[in-house]
Amino acid sequence: MSDTRLFETPPGVRLIDLAALPAGAARGFVLQMRAGRFHGFVVRTAQGVQGYVDRCPHAGLPLVRTLDAYLTPDGTLIQCAWHAALFRIEDGLCVGGPCTGQRLTPWPVRIAGDAVLTA
């Protein structure tokens, strides 16, 4: 297996049962593939799910220090634990902090039946 950091995944990978990811919650995922390792996270909203590569555009670090702690305490924004950058959930746009105007890299995910899958 390679330690290369990947930034995309194949479609159709089952990530989690939908019931295990309530609306307003986020969950991180590390997928080990032959070519390397992918780090991403999914946020469930009232409208569906949004996925992003777990990498801050400012410093290139994962966004969290604590497992699955991607959202601000009120659950309205994604927050980088290292430099407090704030990102909108719906499109990954940084609306505060050192990378204002930049975006998180989208990770295509979708709901299929009772599960969240890569798209």
Reported as a single tens digit per residue, the pLDDT across 58-73 is 988 999 999 999 999 9
> Is pLDDT above 70 for 1?
no
Please report, for the chain, the start and end positions of each structural domain, with discontinuous segments joined by +: 5-118
Reported as a single tens digit per residue, the pLDDT across 9-27 is 999 999 999 999 999 999 9
Report the mean per-residue pLDDT for the chain. Answer: 95
pTM higher than 0.85: yes
**Reported CATH class of domain 5-118:** mainly beta
- DSSP codes, the chain: ---PEES---TT-EEEEGGGS-TT-EEEEEEEETTEEEEEEEEE-SS-EEEEES--TTTS--S-SSTT--B-TTSSEEE-TTT--EEETTT-BEEESTTTT-BPPB--EEEETTEEEE-
- pLDDT value of residue 36: 92
